[in-house]
Structure 1
Amino acid sequence: MDCVERKDPRWPLWASVKRPSRYVGAEWGLTPPKPDAPGLVRVCLAFPDVYEVGMSYLGFQIFHALLKSLPQADPERAYCPWPDMEAELRSRGKVLGTLETDRPLGAFDVLAFTLQYELSYTNLLTMLDLGGVPLHAEDRTEAHALVVAGGPGALVAEPLAPFVDAFLLGDGEVLWPSLVRTLSGLKGCPREERLRALAELPGVYVPALGIPRTPVRRQVLADLDEGFLQDRMLVPSTAIVHDRVAVQVFRGCTRGCRFCQAGMIDRPVRERSAASVCDQVKRLLDFTGWEEVGFLSLATCDWSGLEEALVRLDEILRPRSIKLSLPSLRMDAFSVELAAKLETLRKGGLTFAPEAGTQRLRDVINKGVTEEDIRASLEATFAHGWDRVKLYFMMGLPTETEEDLEGIVRIAKETVRTARAHKRRGEVAISLAGFVPKAHTPFQWEAQATREALRERGRWVKSRLIKDSKIRLSYHDPDQTFLEGVFSRGDRALAPVLEEAWRQGARFDGWTETFDLGRWLEAFERCGVDPEAYVARPRPLDVPLPWAHLDAGVTQEFLLRERARALSGELTGDCRVGACHACGFAVEECPRRGQLAGKGGKG
């Protein structure tokens, strides 16, 4: 760092907090800000969590490069400061600015948040307030940034509606170019005129204009190879959660797990070609110098181009000693055999997600994992020399009984026995999370297990495993699960609660060390809102849901059919290898339906 950089006026501020590397920026790959020009739209990409989490989010890497490529746009970034930095900013009377130039967040044309997790919503308020932006959209003037928000949380927009000017539904590669063109042409126009113009764009919901007559439909990038593909990434200035070249190999999932919101709202499946992926991997490695590559998707082993890509990449990665990782593995012997070929995965343990302890309950949630799959996966894992296995389960799933919890105990103990049979140490980590019924899934009408029930079930499982030194069990805080459940299916009545909890000091609610349910319960009471009403009872099937005006693509009819099949224990097959289930996408949107239509099928 040269002497000019060392004169940055933020140095005393950085020196007064822990982890100052979160705030310094200066990453490899940055380009200078574009000079002011007529029609230039300045965008701040705002991630409502700390730097090391936000820099691991591939979406912002893509959008940053995409916006840089548009002549009418220039992006910068901001992350939520940890409470110690928030306190310093407030005590010194300083405004939160971007990493690149320290430009105040409110001074941008667009302040764009991503909503990846419900328990980060108080951080959004923190960033607005510290950035000099009024919390409420109705209080903003022409001088303030337009606050937009995307990501999965945008499909349940109402809890944040008073604080956000516009929600962007769907793939950013489709949404951002049209949004930038529109705002560039309206630069200097009144705020209301700009918002009305945004509301005319496909996939944009502007709460101030009221509930639209026609549901706002999520926008889909149909061809990933033809969409924007970045050839550079920002290399972080400090360690982050996922420190590697990340390449998305496909979007969507057709396995149809009924609990999985991502698998429902990110449809249809759109694959990239092996040639395109390998070309991008090479370009990103050349630019960044990273020594590891990660393939990202909801189920990478389902990618039809995987084996071809592994062959192509071998001649690129092996000479450079670059490692390849597959974050998501199916629970079957094929996935284990594949993992055995990857040096990165051989060093640690393998992670699988049976999700439920019995075949009956796995059929209810349409997991598609059989007892034989579990047995074969564990046999192959220890036969190939691994010593550690992590298994993810959920508790509180619809129709769950004590027998299903006993199944978790049985699988954990069978894992240890299988390891011993192969003369391995057999260290088993069981992660037990409370089930949250999510919007836009077949379980969106179901009740959520109470905090007390989840705590009791977690302790019940732990009591039956605690004597085995080879098994470690952890379960997610039921209090956090409860709050996540409230906001994941919330309405606009939650907005005052969110603001009240924030004013009482709620910050980083997804972090155990900073979460305090007491603040939230007090906020609910002060606002006269009963949180149990959002989670404790099933929702009527014939009453419109608070997100009915936001169309994720899958129809209510499909979700209701899947709910009925769940309650009767019926499986629904993967439509990529079987029949189309008419989930809601038209022929031109879904490659699978297009194939069927081309063969004379009905789709």
Structure 2
Amino acid sequence: MLEILKPARYINSEWNAVHKDWNEGALKIALSFPDVYEIGMSHLGMRILYGILNREQDVICERVFAPWLDMEKRLRDRKERLPSLESSHALKEFDIVGFSLQYEMNYPDILNMLDMGGVPLCSKDRGDNDPIVIAGGPCAFNPEPLADFIDVFVIGEAEEAILDIVKIIQGAKGRGHRAKGAILKELAKIEGVYVPGYCSAIKKRIVKDLDSSFFPTDIVVPYIQIVHDRIGIEIMRGCPHGCKFCQACKIFHPLRIRSVKRIMEIAEESVKSTGYEEISLLSLSSGDYPYIEELARKLQEKFKPLGVKISLPSLRVGTFDERNDMDTLKRAGLTFAPEAGSERLRHTLNKKITDAEIIEKSGLALNSGWRKVKLYFMAGLPGETYEDLDAIIDLAGKIRNVNLSVSPFIPKPHSDFEREGMEELGILKEKKRYLEAGGKRQEARKNIKIDFHSPETSRIEAVLARGDRSVGKVILKAWEKGLRLQAWTEHFNYNLWDQAFQETGVDPEIYLKKKDEGEVLPWEFIKVSP
């Protein structure tokens, strides 16, 4: 392993990892994340499912992550299969291979992991003795681009549905026969489960009560630093706001609250079982948690003597105030998301915050000990003008120690803007240059840094997010052309994606243009409303 970058990604036996005897009668599940170890190990959903499944006596749940290019080469050169971490069994030896769909740019890595694990890529080519391939997560709310490769999609919150799925597949295994067609037909009857070819309308599955739902406190502690190397506690699910561009507020609706009592129990148990010295309070809008003051006070009382810090993710500007000055709060950087530079454009997004509020709250944060403020914006929003872009730079110029992150607007499925089009690549690249030039003019007197997310990457992401089954041909062709780890800037290759579209005869503009009211959307059969 000396030639491998970060070999600790692959060596197993981390603290709290679960190892069970590999016996014939147990149902074997490969919990698979189509990105590298540091990303997948940070994901809360992965932690939850790993805990739920390994609590079951007759279930073996193990982890598999996408290999970095050096490890892929090593495995392929040696003609070895992609193994699970816990027991080093190949994917093809599992009963279920379950993928987490968090980001569309990971789609080629799903195919790569299946291929390296010895599993046929297409559902139609998998027989009774092959694993059943399942996928869930935010991207599953438009499952059609992956429908040729995935047997079963979980639409909604998988912790609510996974044991129903396990029961059916376990029952078939116990009876000594695994007729794939019969199993899929039974799985299609479960609420929140979409089996391509079996279902016409799907209602998402949700957890009704966070307090009574499972939450892991003995999470696996890795040997190497991961992206979110800390305890993460979900304090609230859903969002009380209705920003028109936001997909998450629709797919995670309705709003559900975890009690302070339960959060404190989770925090205490997690610190004891992991040794972590940081707790992150997770939700789409943590500042809107209705008992944040009580929670902050109790966390400080309990964890300040232990040297455990508390961190918050992105906050809404209106929810930040002096109550966040507790001693245990980690103050590396604070993120606000105005999304648009001008108040006019913000109001069209249903983001009713003023410039004065953003400036005031940013100043308050910096004066309270935060070293940096980061502001998130989008470019290419419906109704945007160059005056709105000027407003981004003008606003940043009124805040000291500010970083700007600007991403092209993507009209995601199920958002209020799902029928909007995406701005042309040339215009987005011009807006990128325009903002960068404006930032340089401000740099002489202000410490401003601008990070503009790649318009080319966003364009591919948009097609994969909004596509139909024809896009599956493009994903397959992209993988055949060697595209791997496309979520990573150093590996993204727009030219090869462009070739994949051309060679499959799929026109990306079909999926990027504005959709008429009467036009059927590929994801329309997925119902996100109660």
1:371 equivalent in structure 2: 355
Matches within 5 A, 1:133-172: 133-172=119-158
Out of 319, 323, 336, the residue aligned to residue 338 of structure 1 is 323
Any residues of structure 2 matched to 1:154-233 within 5 Å, and which? 154-187=140-173, 188-207=177-196, 209-210=197-198, 212-213=199-200, 215-233=201-219
Structure 1 residue 457 corresponds to structure 2 residue 446: no
Pick from 466, 469, 489: which aligns with 1:492? 469
* C-alpha separation in 1, matches of 2:41 and 2:48: 11
Report the AA paired with residue 178 of structure 1: D
Is 1:46–1:113's contact at 8 Å kept on the other side of the alignment? Answer: yes
1:357 corresponds to which residue?
Answer: 341
Secondary structure at the aligned position of 1:26 is classed as coil
Where 1:361 maps in the other structure, the secondary structure is helix
**Structure 2 equivalent of residue 565 of structure 1:** none
Residue pair 1:70, 1:177 contacting (<8 A) in 2 also: no
Once the two structures are TM-superposed, the CA of residue 343 in structure 1 deviates from its matched residue by 4.2
Deviation per CA, 1:66-119, whole angstroms, max 9, x where unpaired? 001123322000000011111111111000010111111111110000100000
| Match of residue 404, structure 2, among 416, 427, 430 | 430
Conserved? CA contact 2:246–2:416, under 8 Å: no
1:28 to 7, 15, 38: 15
Q: 1:509 aligns with which of 471, 480, 486?
A: 486
Assess, with a 3 A threshold, how the Cα gap between structure 1 residues 408 and 101 changes in structure 2: closer, same or farther: same
Residue aligning to 2:373: 389
Letter in 1 for 2:188: A
Partner amino acid for 2:324? A
Moved more, 14-23 or 231-240: 14-23
In the alignment, residue 359 of structure 1 is paired with which amino acid? E
Asked if the contact 2:304–2:327 (Cα under 8 Å) also holds between the matched residues in 1, the reply is no
Provide, for residues 563-594 of structure 1, a one-character-per-residue CA deviation record: whole Å limited to 9, x for no partner. Answer: xxxxxxxxxxxxxxxxxxxxxx2xxxxxxxxx
Q: Tell which deviates more after alignment, 373-382 or 153-162.
A: 373-382
Give the 3 Å change call, closer, same or farther, for CA 272–230 of structure 1 in structure 2: same
Distance in 2 separating the partners of 1:337 and 1:503: 54
The one-letter code of the counterpart of 1:136 is C
- How far the C-alpha of 1:340 sits from its partner, in A, is 2.6
Residue 472 (structure 1) aligned to one of 445, 449, 457: 449
Specify the SS of the correspondent of 2:133.
strand
Alpha-carbon distance in structure 1 between the residues aligned to 2:53 and 2:371 = 45
Q: How does 1:121-140 map to 2 (within 5 A)?
A: 121-140=107-126
C-alpha distance in 2 between matches for 1:431 and 1:171:
29
Separation in 2, partners of 1:197, 1:132: 26
**Maintained 8 Å contact 2:300/2:326:** no
Match of 1:100 in 2: 86
Structure 1: which 5+ runs fail to align?
A: 1-13, 416-425, 554-584, 586-603
User: What is the distance in 2 between the residues matched to 1:83 and 1:35?
Assistant: 29
**2:4 is equivalent to residue 17 of structure 1:** yes
Contact 1:218/1:551, CA 8 A, preserved across alignment: yes
SS of the equivalent of 2:440 reads: coil
1:436-447, aligned counterparts within 5 Å?
436-447=410-421
Question: Which runs of at least 4 in structure 1 moved beyond 4 Å after TM superposition?
Answer: none
Q: Would the aligned equivalents of 1:325 and 1:342 in 2 still touch at CA under 8 Å? A: no
Cα distance, 1:36 vs. partner? 2.0
Match of 1:48 among 23, 34, 37: 34
Conserved 8 A contact 2:279-2:310? yes
CA RMSD, Structure 1 to Structure 2 (Å): 1.4
Counterpart among 512, 515, 519 of residue 543 in structure 1 = 519
Q: What is the deviation of 1:15? A: 2.8
Instruction: For 1:122 and 1:225, locate their aligned partners in 2 and report how far apart those are by CA, in whole Å.
Output: 37
1:71 corresponds to 2:57: yes
* Offset, 1:41: 1.5
Offset, 1:254: 2.0
Given the alignment of the two structures, is residue 414 of structure 1 paired with residue 391 of structure 2, yes or no?
A: no
1:182 Cα deviation (Å)?
1.1
> The residue matched to 1:392 in structure 2 has which SS?
strand
**Alpha-carbon shift at residue 410 of structure 1 (Å):** 0.8
- Work out whether residues 244 and 291 of structure 1, in 8 Å CA contact, stay in contact via their aligned partners in 2: yes
Counterpart CA distance in 1 for 2:522 and 2:452 is 30
Superposition deviation, residue 350 in structure 1 = 2.0
Q: Provide the residue aligned with 1:87 in structure 2.
A: 73
Post-superposition Cα deviations, 1:128-165, rounded to whole Å, max 9, x if no partner, equal 00000010111112221100000011111010000000
C-alpha separation in 1, matches of 2:298 and 2:334: 25
Cα separation, 1, equivalents of 2:327 and 2:114: 44
Q: Distance in 1 between matches of 2:291 and 2:325?
A: 18
2:232 aligned residue: 246
Contact 1:107 1:143 survives alignment (8 Å): no
- Out of 276, 299, 306, which is 2:262 matched to? 276
CA distance in 2, matches of 1:552, 1:342: 40
Q: 1:305 offset after TM fit, Å?
A: 2.3
Cα distance in 1 for residues equivalent to 2:257 and 2:52: 20
Structure 2 gaps of 5+ residues are: none
Q: Please say if residues 235 and 257 of structure 2, whose CA atoms lie closer than 8 Å, have aligned partners that are also in contact.
A: yes
- Listed as ranges, the matches of 1:587-598 within 5 Å are none
The corresponding residue for 2:242 is 256
Query: Deviation at 1:530?
Result: 0.7
Q: 2:367 is matched by which residue type in structure 1?
A: A
Change (3 A) 1:76 1:387: closer
Counterpart Cα distance in 2 of 1:314 and 1:442:
39
- Residues 361-393 of structure 1: CA distance to partner in whole angstroms, max 9, x if unpaired? 101111122223213213312333444221111
The 2-side partners of 1:49 and 1:451 are apart by 26
Secondary structure at the aligned position of 2:439 is classed as coil
2-structure distance, mates of 1:255, 1:166: 31
Secondary structure in structure 2 of the residue aligned to 1:173: helix
**CA shift for structure 1 position 461:** 1.4
* Structure 2 Cα separation of the partners of residues 344 and 106 of structure 1: 45
Q: Identity percentage over the alignment?
A: 38
Tell me, in whole angstroms, the C-alpha distance in 2 between the residues paired with 1:22 and 1:488. Answer: 29
